Amino acid sequence: MTAERRSLMMDDKELVKAAIAAREMAYAPYSGFAVGAALLTADGKLYQGCNIENAAYTPSNCAERTAFFKAVSIGERDFAAIAIVGGRHGAPIGEYCAPCGVCRQVMMEFCDPDTFRILLAKSPEEWQSYTLKELLPLGFSGKDLNR
């Protein structure tokens, strides 16, 4: 996987391509399901992630959270979009891979549900775009704790 790189010109197609590249690094010996994610910051920086499994199962991490935690751990707080691809390891991507509930909740912590976009892709030519609000209606966030 490439290191984080800057691209102020990144469009949706490029973001999908970065997720496909990230998927190549998936460590998924137990499920055989390889996922890649590419997270774009509001100022155009890219963070890629893959799923990382573990023999004890529970410590496994999804591709989306790998990307978010890489970004947040070096200070990023403002995000625009994430592209996600997933499917059987070694096989072409056949279906859209939607983020799990835990990853949606992590997005809720750091993203504006009305504007943050989630791209579910099959290829650089075929993807669907959703807002976080569409995939996590009535989401719970820090704002709810302060009411």
Residues carrying an active site annotation: 64
Residue 60 touching ligand THU (CB under 6 A): yes
Smallest Cα–Cα separation from 80: which of 109, 39, 121, 108? Answer: 39
Residue 58 or 146 with smaller CB distance to ligand THU: 58
Of 15, 17, 53, 136, which one interacts with ligand THU (CB under 6 A)?
53
Residue 100 backbone dihedrals phi, psi, to 5 degrees: -70, 170
| Residue 33 burial (10 A CB sphere; 0-12, 13-18, 19+) | middle
Residue 35 touching ligand THU (CB under 6 A): yes
Binding site for ligand THU (CB under 6 A): 28, 31, 33, 35, 51, 53, 60, 62-64, 86, 97, 99-100, 103
